[in-house]
Structure 1
Amino acid sequence: MAKNTSRGGGVHTTPNPNGAGWINQLKGKVTSTHRLKERAIEAGRDLAQERKTEHVIHNLDGSIRQKNSYGKDPSQSKG
């Protein structure tokens, strides 16, 4: 099972290191648990949008599958 990979900022959707299913973490604290990955992703996305932060979705092995940013993006630079 994957280890706790929620070291950085934002919301991390990871396999539950303490059992079956998936969890969402914010600043290393579990915010929700889910039986299905799809439900965990939905809840993680909602939390990231609410907090205006990044949502990081992990694979079973702990590697990063996808990142989505819901915060303020820097203004576009010229040229």
Structure 2
Amino acid sequence: MGKNQHVTPHPGGGFQVKGAGNSRATKIFETQREAIAYGREIAKNQQSELLIHNRKGQIRERNSYGNDPFPPKD
């Protein structure tokens, strides 16, 4: 399982995709929509989670693309 990917506001403007524990952004985007699409592809490839943060830095959405320890019950 790879690193979880975080979509967060970038200090210089726009949004960034950043691997958990990394000090630098993987890539910077103008819109959050672009950053989410890119982060989702990385999370799918690495079978990890995508965590989307709002402008205040709080997690607003979380998607798992790997081995989910708490799968939904039908």
TM bin, normalised by shorter chain, reads: 0.7 to 0.9
Letter in 1 for 2:19: L
Residue 48 (structure 2) aligns with: 53
Residue 25 (structure 1) aligns with: 18
| Percent identity (aligned) | 37
Q: CA deviation at 1:51?
A: 0.6
Provide Cα deviations, 1:2-57, integer angstroms capped at 9, x if missing partner. xxxxxxx500000002x010000013231111001100000011110011000000
Taking the aligned partners of 2:28 and 2:4, their CA distance within structure 1 comes to 17
* Structure 1: stretches of 5+ with no match in the other structure: 1-8
* Structure 2: stretches of 5+ with no match in the other structure: none
Give the total of aligned pairs: 67
Taking the aligned partners of 1:30 and 1:11, their CA distance within structure 2 comes to 10
- Could you say which structure has the greater relative contact order, defined with CA pairs below 8 angstroms and 6 or more residues apart? 2
